[in-house]
Amino acid sequence: MAHVNRLQNARVLVFGGTSGIGFSVANLCISQGAHVIISGSKQAKVDDKVAELKSFYPSLPSGQEVVGYAADLADTPNLEANIKSLLDKSTENGQKKLDHIVFCAGDLFELPTLQSAKPETALKGFNVRWLGGVMIAKLIATGSYMPASTSSSITFTSGTNTDKPTAGFFTGSSIGSAVESLTRSLAVDLKPIRVNIVSPGAIQTPLLDAVVKNVGEEVKEMWKKETLLGELGRPEDIAEAYAWFMKDRFVTGVIAKSEGGRILV
C-alpha cells in the first residue's frame, strides 16, 4: 500500500504561529498540504506572516487555506471568549472542524529572582501557557470544534528546564512542569483525542533573543555549551516533532524532547 500523507487536507490551528517554532510548524504543515490557520496577538502581524507563508509557495493549490486571526491570550479576563472567537473563525462556526491544534504561544514574562518574586509577576506566565491550554481543552471538549477521534490531536509546548532547571529560571521551569502535567491529564480527559507535548531546548527564536536581551548575551553561549551538540536548535528541525504527534494515531500523553542532549551533560 502506498504511503499516506496524513497532513494532506488536514485542518491545523497554530497558536503562536507568527514567529519561531509556531511559524515553522505552520510552514511544515503547508508544505504537506494542510489547511493552516495561524494566530497571534496582533492582527497586523498575523496578516504579515500569512502573506510571508504564502510567498514560500507561489503554486499553492487554490483550495488550500492559509489564513490567520488575532487572539489576545494575555487578556486573562477575556481569555475564554477570545479563544472561543478564534475557534469559531477557524472552523467557520463548527462547519469545518479542526484536525489538529498546536500551542506554541507564549508571552515574554518577567524572570524574577527568589528575592524579587511577587505574586503578580511570578504567576504571570501561567496565564498564557497553562490557563490558555485549559480553556482550549474546555472548548474542545464540547465537540463543536474537533472530532472525537484518534486522528485528532492537541500538542502543547514546555521546555527542558522542567528536567534540568537553570539557576534563576524557576518561573519558566515551573510553568513547563505544570503544562506537562496538564497534558497528561488532558490525554485522559479528552480521549480519544490525543494530547501530547514537545519539550524544546534552547531554540533560536525571537523569544529566545528577547530573553538574551534581558539576561545578557553570555546566556546564549552558556546554553550552547550545555548541550552535547554545542549549538542552539533550529525551529524548522523541532517542527518535525509536532508533525510526528499529528500523524501518529497511537501516541498520547507523551513528551517529545528536542534539546541537543542537554539533560545528559
Q: pLDDT, tens digit, for every residue of 32-72?
A: 999 999 999 999 999 999 999 999 999 999 899 999 999 99
Please say whether the beta carbons of 135 and 186 come within 8 A.
no
For residue 263, is it within any domain? Answer: no
> In this structure, is residue 171 part of a structural domain?
yes
Distance between CA atoms of residues 86 and 76, nearest Å: 15
- CA-only gyration radius of the chain, Å: 18
State how far Cα 235 lies from the chain centre. 12
**Mean predicted confidence (pLDDT) in 214-233:** 88
Could you read off the pLDDT of 24-33 as tens digits, one per residue? 999 999 999 9
CATH number at residue 89: 3.40.50.720
Looking at the DSSP bridge assignments, the partners of residue 258 are: 200
Helix-helix angle 170-189:132-140, to 10 degrees: 10
Whether 188 is covered by a domain: the verdict is yes
Q: What amino acid occupies position 173?
A: S
Average pLDDT along the chain: 94
Residue 15 dihedral angles phi and psi, to the nearest 5° = -75, 135
Residue 4 forms part of a structural domain: no
pLDDT value at 73 more than 90 = yes
In this prediction, residue 110 carries a pLDDT of 64
Q: How confident is the model over 133-184, as pLDDT tens digits?
A: 999 999 999 999 999 999 999 999 999 989 998 887 788 889 999 999 999 9
pLDDT band, residue 109 (cuts 50/70/90): low
Q: What is the dihedral of CA 70, 122, 131, 167, to 10 degrees?
A: 90
Task: Examine residue 196 and state whether it is found in any structural domain, yes or no.
Answer: yes
113 domain-assigned: yes
Above 80 in pLDDT, residue 113? no
And the C-alpha cell for 152?
A: 485528532
The verdict on residue 1 lying in a domain is no
Give how many domains the chain has, as a whole number: 1
CB 166 within 8 A of CB 225: no
Helical residues (DSSP H) of the chain, grouped into ranges = 20-31, 43-55, 79-91, 119-122, 124-126, 132-140, 170-189, 206-215, 218-225, 235-247
Question: Alpha carbon of 101 to those of 39, 114, 206: distances in Å?
Answer: 11, 35, 22
Domain limits at 176? 11-258
Q: What pLDDT, on a 0 to 100 scale, did the predictor assign at position 49?
A: 98
Helices and strands per DSSP (H, E), number in the chain: 10, 7
Q: Residues of the chain with pLDDT > 70: what percent?
A: 98
Residue 5 falls inside a structural domain: no
Which one-letter DSSP state was computed for residue 103? E
